């Protein structure tokens, strides 16, 4: 049975969705508002609507502005494919490719320079509404938002800059129960930016090759970032949240090129559990701004070096003294994580210094226990600059466990500004640096010691 509240962009009477889907969706939203003008009609009145984007390419030249609740914009496939690999592939090889652009239900962000100010100005989808109640239950599902090209010349090839001023989804005002699921976002400077989120769900998306992937800004509570495949650029956030309480970050697979894998500022009473995190740089997990009472448990952290020749010249600017886990705040628990660092000592910075795995910079009452830290070194294999097979190069690097030797590290370093912490079974006596007069410590037994040290 058809419904007046279900729209197909290819069947709407206003505009051409292939030339400017933004203008078409704005016209549909205007129709929804015209037809659903009464706020209380038979204890209902504004059920909202579904806007369907079928498979195909739809250029977006006009920003979509969403100011109604209960709107679902849905496609039939997230259509992600790697643009970074394409732009770093020799032209002769590219001629043999089966396809070279993302597909599915694909929105091509083509908003012109100068269309608006700030991140919101060139966002494909801008959600914004003042007044009460907060805008609620807006959903994005199962389509691709493609930023097409990076444009800022920096550090070499422009297509590796991660800069173009484009944002996929920008939520500018307080919101409740939003859902972003099954989406593909690629080649955007900012994938998802959401301000003042309450009970939001960002689940099962593929957000890769974006300058920044997920940013929860302003303040928020009781939300989840789960089951996503994520990979930001070398100076951007993969997952970032500020001034948040009750955030669940779980089951994500975070790819290695982001400046950080997870970064919190002023986040409290939240959980980071069961994620697989891979990084080419220090600073995988960063807590700043007095993050407190957070749980970091049962995650797998892997840090190694960039193996793919086109991206070897980039980094996040941090040295290995910064720590893979860099913590500021009180009463956080870091429990039962597996942390692997495998890197040729030639690439450690500063040279000759032991890298730091967990660094507690400030705060008190933090609990670090039963973390398994595996630190190894292996002579780096030379990458063939003519080999454009990013997949094979990276997989071979991850799977390489032969000819490894132990790498000396500082497993846990507690700075003098931090006290009353408890460090248990997360490094031997020689691998943990802290003031034992103001912190509690029990070292991991070394082979040959027999029992647990006193």
DSSP bridge partners of 214: 192, 239
- Lowest-pLDDT choice from 99-108, 237-246, 395-404: 395-404
pLDDT at residue 155 in the model:
64
Task: Check whether 206 has a pLDDT greater than 70.
Answer: yes
pLDDT at residue 152 in the model:
83
- The pLDDT tens digits of the residues spanning 152-179 come to 876 668 988 999 999 999 999 999 999 9
Burial class (CB in 10 A: 0-12, 13-18, 19+), 40: exposed
- Lowest-pLDDT choice from 46-55, 214-223, 371-380: 371-380
Higher-pLDDT residue of 185, 312? 185
Task: Check whether 388 has a pLDDT greater than 80.
Answer: no
| Mean per-residue pLDDT, 184-205 | 98
Task: Check whether 367 has a pLDDT greater than 60.
Answer: yes
Rounded CA-CA distance 145/164 in Å is 14
Higher-pLDDT residue of 394, 177? 177
Omega of the bond leading into 350 within 30 degrees of 0 (cis): yes
Task: Check whether 49 has a pLDDT greater than 90.
Answer: yes
Task: Check whether 267 has a pLDDT greater than 70.
Answer: yes
Nearest to 321 by CA among 372, 373, 281: 281
DSSP E strand boundaries for 243-315: 244-250, 253-254, 260-265, 271-273, 276-279, 285-288, 295-297, 300-303
- The pLDDT tens digits of the residues spanning 292-330 come to 999 999 999 999 988 767 677 778 889 999 999 999 999
Rounded CA-CA distance 140/192 in Å is 11
pLDDT at residue 393 in the model:
57
Task: Check whether 389 has a pLDDT greater than 80.
Answer: no
pLDDT at residue 36 in the model:
96
pLDDT at residue 391 in the model:
58
Structure confidence at residue 1 as a pLDDT band (50, 70, 90): very low
Task: Check whether 399 has a pLDDT greater than 50.
Answer: yes
- The pLDDT tens digits of the residues spanning 338-360 come to 999 999 898 899 998 999 999 99
Percent of the chain with pLDDT over 90: 80
pLDDT at residue 130 in the model:
96
């Amino acid at each position: 049975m058809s419904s007046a509240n279900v729209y197909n962009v290819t069947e709407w009477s206003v505009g051409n969705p292939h030339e400017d889907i933004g203008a078409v969706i704005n016209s549909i939203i205007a129709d929804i508002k015209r037809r659903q003008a009464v706020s209380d009609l038979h204890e209902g009145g504004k059920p909202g609507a579904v806007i369907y984007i079928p498979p195909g390419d739809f250029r977006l030249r006009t920003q979509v502005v969403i100011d109604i609740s209960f709107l679902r914009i849905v496609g039939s496939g997230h259509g992600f494919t790697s643009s970074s690999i394409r732009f770093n592939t020799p032209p002769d090889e590219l001629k043999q490719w089966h396809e070279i652009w993302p597909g599915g239900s694909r929105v091509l962000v083509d908003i012109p320079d100068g269309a608006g100010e700030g991140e919101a100005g060139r966002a494909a989808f801008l959600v914004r509404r003042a007044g009460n109640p907060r805008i609620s239950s807006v959903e994005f599902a199962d389509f691709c938002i493609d930023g097409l090209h990076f444009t800022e010349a920096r550090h070499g090839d422009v297509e590796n800059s991660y800069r173009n001023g484009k944002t996929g989804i920008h939520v500018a005002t307080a919101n409740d129960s939003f859902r972003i699921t099954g989406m593909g976002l690629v080649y955007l400077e900012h994938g998802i930016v959401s301000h003042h989120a309450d009970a939001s769900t960002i689940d099962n998306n593929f957000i890769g090759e974006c300058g920044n992937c997920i940013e929860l800004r302003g303040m928020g509570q009781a939300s989840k970032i789960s089951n996503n495949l994520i990979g930001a650029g070398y100076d951007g956030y993969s997952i970032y949240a500020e001034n948040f309480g009750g955030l669940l970050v779980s089951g994500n697979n975070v790819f290695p090129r982001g400046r950080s894998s997870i970064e919190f500022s002023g986040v409290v009473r939240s959980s980071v559990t069961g994620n697989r995190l891979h990084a080419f740089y220090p600073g995988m997990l960063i807590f700043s701004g007095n993050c407190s009472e957070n749980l970091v448990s049962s995650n797998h952290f892997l840090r190694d070096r960039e193996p793919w020749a086109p991206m070897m010249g980039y980094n996040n600017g941090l040295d290995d003294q910064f720590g893979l886990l860099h913590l500021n705040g009180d009463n956080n628990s870091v429990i039962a994580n597996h942390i692997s660092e495998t890197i040729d000592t030639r690439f450690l910075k500063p040279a000759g210094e032991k890298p730091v795995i967990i660094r507690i910079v400030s705060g008190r009452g933090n609990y670090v226990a039963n973390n398994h830290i595996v630190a190894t070194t292996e002579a780096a294999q030379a990458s063939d600059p003519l080999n454009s097979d990013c997949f094979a190069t990276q997989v071979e690097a991850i799977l390489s466990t032969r000819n490894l030797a132990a790498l000396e590290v500082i497993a846990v370093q507690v700075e003098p500004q931090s006290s009353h912490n408890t460090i248990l079974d997360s490094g031997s006596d020689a691998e943990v640096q802290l003031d034992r007069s103001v912190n509690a410590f029990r070292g991991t037994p070394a082979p040959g010691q027999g029992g647990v040290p006193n």
